[in-house]
Amino acid sequence: MPIAKQNLTKAIKADVKIAFGTDTPIIPHGKNAIEFAALIDCGMSTKEAIKTATTNSAEMLGLTDRGELKEGMLADIIAVDTNPIKDISTLEHVKFVMKNGTVYKNEK
């Protein structure tokens, strides 16, 4: 097992709070969602993996006005075809992003 995976597995088992983010060239720019599967592969639950990109990241950056979808919070949202809790790979295929009320679609 590569050392990075060993260290991540140990951190997850020790309940270390992890923020989503990749180091290129390990995961190329634009392919960040691959990290979700890597987190799960190292022992993190699907819900906890999603939190690394939402609540955990906001908290660790001191951004108290974002990280959750609730009234009074700033949020960008994404749309996917299936439930990411059941299939995390769906986050690799975002249909659209809504930012500041404007919808941006990937027309590929």
Length of the chain: 108
pLDDT single digits (tens) 20-29: 987 666 677 7
Element (H or E) spanning 52, and its range?
helix 46-52
pLDDT single digits (tens) 70-94: 999 999 999 999 999 999 999 999 9
To the nearest 10°, the Cα dihedral for 1, 22, 45, 3? 20
Structure tokens at 37: 């599967």
pTM: 0.87
Q: How would residue 30 be classed by pLDDT, with cut points 50, 70 and 90?
A: confident
d(CA 27, CA 83): 23
